[in-house]
Amino acid sequence: MAKNDKEEVKKEEKKESKKEDKKPVSYGAKDIFVLEGLEPVRKRPGMYIGTTGPEGLHHLIWEIVDNSIDEAMAGYAKNIRVELLEDNMVAVTDDGRGIPVEIHPQTKKSTLETVLTTLHAGGKFGGESYKVSGGLHGVGSSVVCALSVWMKAEIERDGGIHVQEYRKGKVQGPVKKVGKSEKTGTKIMFQPDPEIFPDTTFDLKKILDRLRQQAFLTAGIRMEVVDARNPKDISYFGFCFDGGLNSFLNHLASSRKPILGSNFYVKKDYEKMEVEAAFTYGDEFEIKELSFANNIHTPDGGTHITGFRSALTRSLNDFAKEGGYIKTSEDAFSGDDVREGIIAIVSVKIPEPQFEGQTKAKLGSVEARTAVEAVVGDAMKDFFLRNTQDAKAIIEKCILALKARKAAKAAKDMVLRKGALEGLTLPGKLADCSSRKPEESEVFIVEGDSAGGSAKSGRDRRTQAILPLRGKILNVEKSRIDKMLLNKEIKSLVIAIGTAIADTFDLSKIRYHKIVLMTDADVDGAHIRTLLLTLFYRYFQPIVEAGYLYIAQPPLYRVQSGKEVRYVYSDKEKDKTVKELQDIKTEKAKAKAVKEGKEEKAPKEIIEEVFDDKNTKGISIQRYKGLGEMNPDQLWETTMNPANRLLFQVQVEDAEAADKLFDILMGEEVQPRKMFIQANALMVKNLDISG
């Protein structure tokens, strides 16, 4: 076909294509899809469990366990057992009343089948079955059924054992009576669907933490966990706490030095609601508050925690005024003043709580605020009368917090005012990038001028900024914000990042979407990195939560054989690399000997396994003790070049555990840190003590 003919054909094809584009898109009754049964859950699982990642996977267990806890709160169950079985199966058993199995009057199906295969079906919408419940949407068990490749319900009640199975939300047959039993209870076994969840491996620690928490909240109830995923190594765990929130509070405060002689505790009914609260104060600055509604953890708080804070602030201000500690309105304590160093737990049980979303992260019931504020406010007056020394200790701590807040505001205003007067001048030591787009900009925080010099010379000036810090920054775990903001290195960091700090923090003003901590691979480097992580966790946590904080992984060794250069990141990788290069040299030597007809002279072993840190018969090994030892091109190639580098994103999956760990490792108390080191010493395989 001639060239002109081809062009004509292409023109005709374009015309036809344009004609087709102009055809109206079909939109009628046949285009409207109705998802039946549990299909909506499988189609949009995130709407029901939040995510199909690890949190969503574990949410399946929480949904079933919460139903068992509802039985316990209603006074019908004493024991709850979670078993992790082979092939990522889970079994949850309780000794409650058992799900009814008789025919349901509305659905004309077994009540068991109705509960497990129908959205918004359960015993928590009316009647007297549950006066208080965490699972109010009626979708929990059915969602688990829908998102499991296999599920089995085993019910003991009415003198028999009743069984029914399901696959991907669809019933596999009628309820069968398979035996006799005088007991009552429910056992739900399920296997998460790998089509829904990329990873179906359950985290034992996450499960233990959750059930321990529930055991604290439901005094006297026994929680058991059995890890039988490896039949040859079965682990058993059990929790039962008669002390309730007091026991929970002591557990949370174990890493802090208390300033009170006794905990504040109250448990009281208020207009059909049960309010339980406990708090103490530690000799620290951090605030630790946990809130629950019907035993459901509400990490985003809600009306119950608002009521608690309001009662705490008002009661302490009233007591301080009566005692002559506060003379003017300017001396009144703010909410932050009275909460500094507090460790508090607030738990409410409400007949019909209003949560925000199926994951129940925040309580929205207005009446909860009134109930908590009234109960806690009255109880605090009584607490102050019976514990005058504790009351004075709290007031003195609040006064210190008030003074620190005013000093911090002055220091912060000075930092911000100075920046404003200088036209938001960035720190002189900051080698900024030319790009002004945060999404493509990154800043490397490095230790010392030597490493800073190499990084500045080797970087991509368009997108990469370098901020060298001199020495070890202040440990913010032991310092108030006013002292912190007077620290030159921290002040430079705050201005460089651009978000401001404390109550003026604004994530939208961040200047870099990658903040990279790049320290030496030695003890000092690890210490500096820990100090920086403490700073970000305590004062820039939204940056961490947004995924903007990273840790650079520079290589430990440069291994060279002839013209071939490899960078390795561990001793194990170094040994493997050297062995590979040895094998290559050996094969080349053998090939050369064969080519020259000297097979008998071919070496059996060209390079010995034993080597020192400098040279191994033709293989050069260089150990990097600091970033400053690397040439700019080497630093770029190994640690800063996006095509080659290894970055670890800092994430905080368990904020409570992270908070406790920072308290232990960076706080004032020596004994908890000593105990932690002793308990974990054997886990450290390669300890660098060269200093």
Residue 564: beta bridge partners?
561
Q: Rounded to an integer, what distance in angstroms lies between the CA atom of residue 640 and that of residue 389?
A: 57
User: Among this protein's residues, is 318 annotated catalytic?
Assistant: no
Nearest Cα residue to 477 out of 533, 421, 405, 561: 533
Distances (CA, A) of 135 to 67, 239, 293, 359: 7, 22, 11, 10
DSSP assignment string, 86-107:
GGG-EEEEE-SS----SBPTTT
Give the active site residue among 286, 524, 637, 659. 524
3-state secondary structure 500-553: CCHHHCCHHHCCCCEEEEECCCCHHHHHHHHHHHHHHHHHCHHHHHCCCEEEEC
Q: Rounded to an integer, what distance in angstroms lies between the CA atom of residue 193 and that of residue 195?
A: 5
**Spatial contact of 190 and 151, defined as CB atoms under 8 Å apart:** yes
3-state secondary structure 474-508: CCHHHCCHHHHHCCHHHHHHHHHHCCCCHHHCCHH
**Spatial contact of 351 and 255, defined as CB atoms under 8 Å apart:** no
User: Among this protein's residues, is 193 annotated catalytic?
Assistant: no
Q: Rounded to an integer, what distance in angstroms lies between the CA atom of residue 58 and that of residue 142?
A: 15
User: Among this protein's residues, is 520 annotated catalytic?
Assistant: yes
- Measured at the CA of 511, the angle between CA 510 and CA 515, to 5 degrees, comes to 90
Give the active site residue among 94, 227, 520, 637. 520
Give the active site residue among 447, 477, 659, 663. 447
User: Among this protein's residues, is 447 annotated catalytic?
Assistant: yes
Q: Rounded to an integer, what distance in angstroms lies between the CA atom of residue 525 and that of residue 519?
A: 5
Give the active site residue among 300, 522, 545, 668. 522
- 423 DSSP assignment: T
**Spatial contact of 497 and 512, defined as CB atoms under 8 Å apart:** yes
Give 3-state DSSP helix, strand, coil % of the chain, rounded to 5: 45, 20, 35
CB-neighbour burial class of residue 256 (10 A; exposed 0-12, middle 13-18, buried 19+): buried
Pairing, β 148-157 against β 170-171: unpaired
Residue 467: beta bridge partners?
445
Q: Rounded to an integer, what distance in angstroms lies between the CA atom of residue 584 and that of residue 602?
A: 14
The residues assigned a catalytic role are 447, 520, 522, 524
